[in-house]
Structure 1
Amino acid sequence: MPPKPSGVLAPERAAGHTALLIIDMINCWDFPDADKLLPRAAAIAPRIAALKARCRKAGVPVIYANDNRGRWRSDFPALVEESLANNSAGAGVTRTLQPGPDDYFVLKPKQSAFFGTPLELLLRHLDARRLILTGVASDQCVLVTATEAGMRDLAVVVPRDCVASQSASRNDIVLRQLEEFQKLPTTPSSRIRLVPRRRGA
């Protein structure tokens, strides 16, 4: 079950004009190659959780972007519940990254977190101009989302320790692509600078 409301309102404006995007980590892992991707997702989940905790403390909003998997009557709370009831490894990832009542979410029909979703409008509402992209798969949904973010003139950081693909070699290839061809930083999550929210803001 999602945690009870904390009483802390989600920020109306993103501290440091930054938002954290967690892609496809809340999942039932019932797709082809899921058996290869799930262990790697489980390995990065604690690091994403630590980054999320830092973001929340700094007033940086957290947005979950997840596939609707062609289920047009689905919603995010139902996906969380289904994931928690699923196999133990997938449920463990969801428990590690349990969405809070102050977090945001979008459901996406395709790989990009922008295509067919209100993400662009949400970022505009939050005045977020920099995205920290985390999650899976790095060479599919993360890569496409990073590309589309760049097309919208958003700054993008992809922390190398918070993304994964079906194999280490595939992940290394896309990280090199992001760095060399798209000129995006892949700074480790612990070294990403977050601007704290000012008191009274």
Structure 2
Amino acid sequence: MTIHRHDRGRHTESPRAARTLPTSRRVLLLVDFINPLNFPGAEDLAASALEAAKATAQLKHRMQERGFRSIFVNDNFGQWRSDFKTLAGECRRLGGAPRGLVGQLKPHPDDLMVLKPRHSAFYATPLDLLLDELGARELVVTGLATDFCVMCTAMDAYVRGYKVWVPEDCTAAETPLQKHEALAWMHAVLKARVSPARQALSR
């Protein structure tokens, strides 16, 4: 069994631990991008979600070239039997923005996937254990929506001692004001970087 603990924001590994996944000190989280957009307010989110997906796809490609892993984290929509393949197929069937999101961010065979029941990618999911297995230190949090699931995920990452980057062009909210206020809060309170995706690998 692999046992880890957080120590002042860093992970200390058990001497007996054996990794089954390649190490990735930096990990890209894609939160709720594979999405049927069938909730109130989705029509206000759709256009900016597609723009965020496009920017995230470019960032994801650059991170893959550097050997960093990506994890898709999605709502289970109340059906724990659901999976990403089924969800992606449903989004393609719906057409419009849901189909466009899948087209921009089709999962790579090496990508990892987690289902979540609530806003945060960490709540009641194995994400923290998975990140420990990867040896992650820094999380790049992208997705929908900036002021809900992205913000909750970034907050939970921060309290667990991860460095947090939220590329401003890789998230979307229903209004520009909601996005701006959420990013400003994450920068001020969580000490998160909120620079654009083109700067996300500069440090």
Q: Normalized per residue, which structure has more strand?
A: 2
Consecutive unaligned residues in structure 1, runs of 5 or more? 1-9, 196-201
Per-residue deviation, 1:162: 0.7
Q: 2:122 aligns with which of 110, 114, 120?
A: 114
**1:11 and 1:61 in contact (8 A); partners too:** no
Number of aligned positions between the proteins: 184
Deviant stretches of 4+, over 2 Å:
none
1:160-171 correspondence runs (5 A)? 160-171=168-179
> What is the RMSD of the two structures over their aligned residues, measured on CA atoms?
1.5
Are 2:127 and 1:80 equivalent residues in the alignment? no
Contact 1:55–1:194 (CA under 8 A) maintained in structure 2? no
Q: Can you list the C-alpha shifts for 1:146-167, whole angstroms capped at 9, x where unaligned?
A: 1101111111000111111001
Distance 1:150 1:183 in 2: 8
**Taking structure 2 as the reference length, what is the TM-score of the superposition?**
0.87
Q: Take 2:38 and 2:97, find their aligned partners in 1: how far apart are those partners?
A: 12
**2:23 counterpart (10, 13, 24):** 13
Match of 1:90 among 81, 98, 109: 98
- 1:15-164 mapped onto 2 (5 Å cutoff): 17-164=25-172
Instruction: Give the TM-score taking structure 1 as reference length.
Output: 0.88
Kept in 2, the 8 Å contact 1:23–1:66? The answer is yes
- Structure 1 residues 14-73: Cα deviation after superposition (integer angstroms, max 9, x where no partner): 0xx100001111011111111111111011111100000001100000000100011122
**Aligned-pair CA distance for 1:142:** 0.4
Unmatched segments (≥5 aa) in structure 2: 1-19
